[in-house]
Structure 1
Amino acid sequence: MSEPTVIELGPRDLLVVAGLPGAGKTTMLRHAAVGLPVLDSDQVRERLGAVVPAVPYRWYRPVVHAWHRVRIVRHALGEDGPVVVHEPSTRASTRALLALVGALSGRSVRLLFLDVPAEVALAGQVSRGRVVRARSFARHVRRVGKWREELLADQVPVGWRSVQVVDRPRAGRTRLVAKLLVGC
């Protein structure tokens, strides 16, 4: 078995864990980010769903995504320590917003991209019991195409500090740790 990939997060790092819906981001973070704050839109979806259980998710999905982004901004600006954000980030506008949040909050924005083929991500959605609408998933796949090529060529997006690409097996061996500051 290969050695684990350990990613050290500095006290002002904002790590975005990105990839197609169903790629395995949530599963990876459940094991990799123990003890670190993780902001995930599913946390918002579950809270709102508990308040309005009879309302179909598709009706309040825009509120979930807006609230998730507000949580990211609020945490980045108002909290100490590293933060991990679960966000597909297939839209260029989302990546630009995250870079802006980093700049405004004085955080280094880093990317951990979970590189999984579309058919594997779709199977992941089916196994978790929540499948993204076909048109929406196709848009995610289309948008991630060129961006994926750039990431695999080690091109760091403007406003971001670093990019790391992992496949699903390596994601299972990834650990995120807060870097301890010595001599402060």
Structure 2
Amino acid sequence: MTTGSADAAHPVTAPSDGGGVRLVLPGRTLLLVAGLPGAGKSTLLQSLDAPAGTRLLDSGAVRTRLARLLPPGTPYPAYRWLTHLLHRSAVVAACLGPADTVIVHLPATSARVRTAVRLLARACGRAPHLLWLDVPPDLALRGQRARGRVVRTRPFARHAARAEGVGSRVRDGRERGWASVRSTDRSGARRGLVLAK
């Protein structure tokens, strides 16, 4: 895979040799792994092969830890705000920390969220990179059902409407502001992610 120049988008797909999605991220970096809920972000990161010291921040892991601490049956909407607060606080702390590469796992279908991630990365002296999982809504819904956690209809519809625009900008090279932009689909996500410096 080639590395994109600053502020240019270079979408690519996973290699056809069956290997994982491979990214070269030199220096201090932040990689945003984004896409619809159920697109395969967790699957992609499950078999992450990365240099020692890489920090991975997943809001799903925060949610799971909180669910264990709260009374059984506590509905997620009751502590969604706390999940987001703790996850975002951890992202800021990691960006300020010594890790060469910080990986942030978020849907980030909102332009506001992607902008915030880019600004945070640059404020912390990191080059921001985007890996977009380009997956249609029906497949993402199937992924949600397979994991046993389905996003409510209205929030998912908002995600899906925004994701269509993001996917189009990534494919056309119009998703600006990143040191590099990459994309893959569900089959690429199943192969995992390999990071190199």
Query: With structure 1 as the length reference, what TM-score do the two structures score?
Result: 0.90
Q: Residues 64-103 of structure 1: matches in 2 within 5 Å?
A: 64-103=83-122
Distance 1:161 1:80, change over 3 A: same
Pairwise CA distance, 1:13: 1.1
Contiguous gaps of at least 5 residues in structure 2: 1-14
Moved runs in structure 1, 4+ residues, more than 4 A?
none
Query: With structure 2 as the length reference, what TM-score do the two structures score?
Result: 0.84
**Are the counterparts in 2 of residues 44 and 68 from structure 1 also a CA contact under 8 Å?**
yes
**Are the counterparts in 2 of residues 11 and 178 from structure 1 also a CA contact under 8 Å?**
no
Q: Distance in 2 between matches of 1:102 and 1:80?
A: 12
* Per-residue deviation, residues 147-176 of structure 1 (Å, max 9, x unmatched): 211111122323x21110111112233532
Pairwise CA distance, 1:80: 2.3
1:106 maps to 125
Aligned pair count reads 178
Contiguous gaps of at least 5 residues in structure 1: 180-184
Pairwise CA distance, 1:11: 3.4
* Per-residue deviation, residues 14-50 of structure 1 (Å, max 9, x unmatched): 1111000000110111013456421000111112111
Q: Residues 28-177 of structure 1: matches in 2 within 5 Å?
A: 28-33=44-49, 36-54=54-72, 55-158=74-177, 160-177=178-195
**Are the counterparts in 2 of residues 14 and 85 from structure 1 also a CA contact under 8 Å?**
yes
Q: What is the root-mean-square deviation of aligned Cα atoms in Å?
A: 1.7
**Are the counterparts in 2 of residues 118 and 141 from structure 1 also a CA contact under 8 Å?**
yes
